[in-house]
Each structure stands twice: as structure tokens, then as C-alpha cells.
Amino acid sequence: MKRLFLFTLIALCSGIGSLLAQPSKQYVTPVAQPDHEDWIYKCGETVNITLYAVKENVMMPNTIIEYSYGPEKNAPVFTGKATTDKNGVARIKFPGAKKPGFITVNTVVKYDGVEYKGMTNVGFEPYSIQPTTTLPDDFKEFWDKTLEKSEKVPMISKCTWSKEQSTAAADVYFVQIQSYRPGNYVYGVLTVPTDCKEGEKLPAILRLPGATVRAFSGPNDLAKEGFVVLEIGVHGIPVNQDPEIYQALVQGSLAGYASQGLESRDTFYYKRVYAGCVRALDYLVSRQEVDSERIAVYGGSQGGMLSIVTSALDKRVKAMVCQFPAFCDVTGYYEGRAGGWPHLFKDRNEPALKEKIAASKYFDTVNFARFVTIPGYYSWGFNDIVCCPSSTFSAYNVINAPKTLKISRDSGHWLYPVYVRQGIDWLKEQFGMQK
């Protein structure tokens, strides 16, 4: 069979497998249960909380639960203790937030010398949350010029079949694509279903990674769904090196990469990254096997951020699956509420703060969300302390395009398998594919 050179999707950090993996369960789990099933309240509304702790699926009577509450990712405004009754429950209440946002209820149970912690984020009119960041007047001009300059760089590419990683069901390739400036490359892994007929055009999905420095491998599970999958890295380094190389980079030149060069919009790390995502699409549509009318982006965390950014910059993207996007409303801390990963402005006294805030506006996911025009399937949890819901809602609320949001209230920086499955099914429906 002819080797196909195609691509596709963006999921989360290290693939579908990692999304399906669940966090380990604590021996003792303290719980703060809101009296509203959806965990959502009107501004100013009193919140009634039922506290309990579960050990081996049994509620614990006569147990002290320490609790605190306050604005998400900020210092608590109240701390206290409550003792569960003979049925294993205690009840507290607190006044609601005065404006749209989230309040975090933290809980702690000490048992046999070990502290067990829990949290619940309660939303106050979250669909009314507005971003703190603002759109620069020359935002579109800046990115138009950046991409025009990048487009002049020849798209020199190399695609190498991997015998070791290919299977009977999928061919796997390592790809290298020149991008942004001569000598700068985007590297990734391409997975192509082997049952693709010669001359057939398949839907393609660019898969964008979470925040990491690591190797990538194939075949990508999403190819089983009928897609060609291209999973790219963002650091301009090959993705099939020994683990020791990536570990050295994490501890060396790529330590804290998400804040490197933020003193200027022209030196910030993500300028090259954003342009590289568009170049990956250039390569994608150049393949004769790709249906250019069925191209999607898919990712979570940093990958969710890059999904929104790429779909805003490039109208060749027709659909998006985005989980808990990063870099949303990063100036939130400057305004007294949670900002998105990487939590740049939590320390308001850092050097060059004014310059960094000004530069961040050209990269904030919120400002790209304003330009999204394609349908999207979004999902995140209220208890995400990495990409906080205050930040993700601030991006979601400015999107003026068909959008679906699935909330997994008690999940943190992960999703239940059912939400992953629903996102894939939604995407297949967008492209007229059978489930």
C-alpha cells in the first residue's frame, strides 16, 4: 500500500491514554458539597455547604474538618473548624461573591497523623465573567505582519517512516518542517490509518501538546477514529530523542519557558510557537490526502490555548475541541482574582511588570478567543487549580461563534473519559463521520 503523508488532531498533554487515566483516590476524602447541584449561584447569594469525610466509602462521624474559603487562588477570607455529627455531616454557610467569579472552599481532615485535603470551587454567575485583559489596538496588525514574515520562509520539510512505531493499523512518521525563520523547525509525529484508500481524502486534525518538554510517539489513538493525526512539539527540537535530553532541557534552557522573553512582544517565547502552529497547518493542507474542508484542532491546557490561538489565526481550521485552555486572562491576579496558567502575575512586585503585562496582551488566549469564528466543543472542571475556571470562562464568554461547554464540576486538571468521548463524537459529527 502507498505510504500516506497526512495529519490531524490536538488532544491533551500526552494523548488520549493520559486523559482516560484517573487520579489516585485518597484514603480519606474530605468533601464540601454545595446546596446547588450545579455549584452555581447568583452574586450575593448565600452558599450552604455540607461538609463530610469519606474513608473506604463510609462517611466519618465525629470528625473534625478544618475549612477555609476565599477568592479562587487568593488568600482565604475565613477559616474555621466543624465536627461531623453521628451521621457524618456538618454544615456551614458563607456569603456569596459580590461579582461574577469563583470562591474556593478548602477542607482538611487529619487522620492517623496524615493530612487529607479537598477543595470545591463555587461559581457566581460564571457566564457573566468578563476578562481583565484588554485588546491592543494593533493586535491584528501585529499578528498579520508576524505571519506574513513567517510565510516567506520556505516550507522545507522531511517526513520519515518509523518501522518500529508503525503497526498493521497505522503508519507512523516523524516530521520536520521549517518554520518562522530559516533554520527553525516544527517537529512532530504523524499517524496515518493504513486502511485509507489511495486517492481518498481524510479529515485532518492538528494535535497540540500540553505544557511539557518530552518525546512524542505513535501511533496516536485518534487515528482509530478515522483521522490522520499530526502531534507537534512546540520547542523546535526533535521529538524522538532520549528522555535524558528532555530532562536536561527542562532543568536548563527550557526551565520556565512559558515566561521567557515576556519583556517584549517581539521576544516572548510563544511568538515563534504560534507561528509554528500555522506552519504545521501549511504542511497539513499541502498533502494530497487531506480534505482541506475538514481540518480540526484539538488540545488541552497549553494545547487548548494553542487550539484557540490557531483557529483564530488560520481560517483553514473548521472545528475545535478544547479542554481547559491555558494562558487565559493572565492579568487576573493584577486585578485581584485568579489568572490562567502559567500564573505570570501572581507576584505583583516582579521586575518589568508593566512591560510584561503590555506584552502579554498580544498572546493572551482571551484576545484570540475574540476572533474565533468556528464551532467549538469546550470542557473543563470547576476544581482546576492549573487553568482556573475564572480564567477559562473569561475566554469562553467572549467567543462569538457556535460553542458547546461541558462542565465536569469535580474534576481538576483532567477529564472523565465520558467527556473525552463526547468531544470526539462531537467532532466526528461536525465532519459528517459515523460514530
Which residue numbers are catalytic? 301, 384, 413
- Cα distance between residue 1 and residue 208, in whole Å: 29
Inter-residue contact 388 to 382 (CB < 8 Å):
no
Secondary structure class of 425 (helix, strand, coil)? helix
CA distance 391 to 335: 12
Which amino acid is it at 284? L
Q: Residue 245 contacts by C-beta under 8 Å, 6 or more apart in sequence?
A: none
Q: Give the chain's largest Cα–Cα span.
A: 72
Which backbone phi and psi does 255 adopt, to 5 degrees? Answer: -65, 125
* Residue 216: partners with Cβ closer than 8 Å, 6 or more residues away: 188, 189, 209, 231, 233, 239, 240
At residue 47, φ and ψ (nearest 5 deg) are -110, 125
CA dist 341 and 323 (Å) reads: 13
Residues 6+ apart with CB under 8 A from 351: none
For 139, residues 6+ apart whose C-beta sits below 8 A from its C-beta are: 361, 362, 367
**Integer Cα distance of 56 and 88 in angstroms:** 14
Q: Is 276 left (phi over 0), alpha (psi -120 to 50) or beta?
A: alpha
